[in-house]
Amino acid sequence: MKNLLIIGGTGFLGTAIVGELARRTASADFQFTLPTRRRDHAKHLLVLPTATVVEADVHDPATLARLMVGQDAVISLVGILKGGEGEPYGKGFARAHVELPQKIAAAAKAAGVRRVLHVSALKAATDAPSGYLRSKAAGEALLREADLDLTLFRPSVIFGPGDSFLTLFARLARIAPFFPLAGAAARFQPVWVGDVAAAVADSLLRPESIGAAYDLCGPKQYSLRELVSYAAEVSGHPRAVVGLPEAVAWLQAWSMEFIPNGPMTRDNIRSMRVASVCDSGCALPFGRIATPLEIVAPTYLRG
């Protein structure tokens, strides 16, 4: 495992995975190929001497075929939270979570790259209430059907510097006098980005992970209300959180769909109807102990 193609590697989790692997293999000259839609999305990775950032359309099979040449493994990380409405999922979800994994599987097989690590989402299921979770399940199924050395990761919400979860709440707390919150009772078991990156890196180096699917969770469950309150308080702007009734939450989410980069969609509300928690308790593979949120979050939320 020397040459790695990391698709979706320029984002929050991808950056942590690249960092984790680069640290572990400082002496082993791991080479990362990181396709991106826009080079400036990968500015922070350009300094890494072992990373090659390429502007590429990974949805184009010919481009994917070129990217696969000479790779030993593929890490597949592309994911979106807004994919539109539709049955069983919106067009955006179909493209990013279903068609892309299918194209990755086909290109990997054609190039003889057997090892594939794919990040899905906790509680992805064909009968899940949201297009996000249904499309993630469809992507998993297509990869499972392909004859590859596959490992799947299914994290709950991920926290860490640069997350779009606790950081968003902390930012909103600065400007909002109180929080009108949709899905206040929704349950999560947040997992630290460093632990998710370590699980991926461990799996890459451990053949026994082939064929496994790992649910990834932190040590503790919280309601969304608790997490928002916590992020606001730790950032120095404690705020009252007001849970919205379902109908109002729905209207709020629908109106936010018209705002570019709006923080919520109706599909997000549907996702929150399933508790994003690990049924077996705290879960990380290979005996790793999950890092508590209260240890890491203050380091990047304060101030």
Residues with Cβ within 8 Å of 154's Cβ and at least 6 positions away in sequence, in order, are 120, 121, 122, 123, 124, 213, 214, 215, 216
The Cα–Cα gap between 56 and 61 comes to 11
Asked if omega into 88 is within 30° of 0 (cis), the reply is yes
- ∠73-41-236 over CA atoms, to 5°? 110
79 binds ligand NAP per the rule CB under 6 A: yes
CB 203, min distance to ligand NAP, A: 14
Residue 162, strand partner residues: none
- The pattern of x and - marking residues 150 through 189 that bind ligand NAP according to CB under 6 A reads -----x-xx------x------------------------
3-state secondary structure of 53: strand
Asked if residue 21 binds ligand NAP (CB under 6 A), the reply is no
Among 154, 179, 167, smallest CA distance to 243 is for: 179
Q: Which of 4, 8, 51, 101 binds ligand NAP (CB under 6 A)?
A: 8
Nearer Cβ to ligand NAP, position 106 or 251?
106
- DSSP annotation of 106: H
Contact between 73 and ligand NAP by CB under 6 A: the answer reads no
Q: Provide, rounded to whole angstroms, the least separation between the CB of residue 234 and ligand NAP.
A: 18
Among 4, 5, 21, 42, binds ligand NAP (CB under 6 A): 42
Q: Which of 18, 68, 73, 96 binds ligand NAP (CB under 6 A)?
A: 96
Q: Which stretch binds ligand NAP (CB under 6 A): 5-13, 180-188, 204-212, 224-232?
A: 5-13
CB burial of 236-255 (b: ≥16 within 10 Å; e: otherwise) equals: ebebebebbeeeebeebbee
14 binds ligand NAP (CB under 6 A): yes
Residue 294, exposed/middle/buried by CB under 10 A (0-12, 13-18, 19+)? exposed
Q: Which residue is nearest to ligand NAP (CB)?
A: 11
Q: Is 135 in the site for ligand NAP (CB under 6 A)?
A: no
Stretch that binds ligand NAP, among 66-74, 78-86, 141-149, 243-251 (CB under 6 A): 78-86
The C-alpha atoms of residue 55 and residue 57 are separated, in whole angstroms, by 7
Q: Which residues of the shown chain bind ligand NAP in the complex (CB under 6 A)?
A: 8-14, 36-37, 41-42, 58, 77-80, 96, 119, 121, 155, 157-158, 165
